[in-house]
Amino acid sequence: MNTPAVPAVASVLFVCVHNAGRSQMAAAFLTHLGGDRVQVRSAGSAPADAVNPAVVEAMNEAGIDISAETPKVLTVAAVRSSDVVITMGCGDACPYFPGKRYLDWQLDDPAGQGVAAVRPIRDEIERRIRGLLAELGIESVA
């Protein structure tokens, strides 16, 4: 059985509306766990001014500092240069290119939530990131 080759460095783009919560957590976990075997991007269809402070706090609890991250606008170039595009509630705002692998992760939105509500979202994202690494054949570095 022939399976498509995974590039030496896979490229993954996480997209949500504001790029202030879910996509930031996913990008941080993939960067932390994937090391230099994966290129990670995140963006939003309508980026917020700053990353959600409760998300920053929840990620700090997991040992990952995202306090310096800023929401970024989704570009066609970012989608085009990614092997895998994972959407998180951005609906039809995400451009589609044939040949890309698209996944849609249904996750609660942490916007307006306190850190207690963000923790289970964070933990679910980490679980999915570990699964994604396994699917890509990339061993977790942590």
Q: Look at the block and give the residue holding tokens 């916007």.
A: 111
Identified catalytic residue from 10, 12, 13, 16: 16
Distance spanning both ends of the chain, measured CA to CA: 31
Identified catalytic residue from 10, 43, 94, 115: 94
In the residue annotation, 16 being an active-site residue is answered as yes
Identified catalytic residue from 74, 90, 118, 132: 90
In the residue annotation, 134 being an active-site residue is answered as no
In the residue annotation, 31 being an active-site residue is answered as no
- 68-72: long-range contacts at Cβ-Cβ below 8 A with a sequence spacing of 24 or more? 69/24, 69/27, 69/28, 71/18, 71/19, 71/20, 71/24, 71/44, 71/47, 72/19, 72/41, 72/42, 72/43, 72/44, 72/47
Which sequence positions are flagged as catalytic? Answer: 16, 90, 94
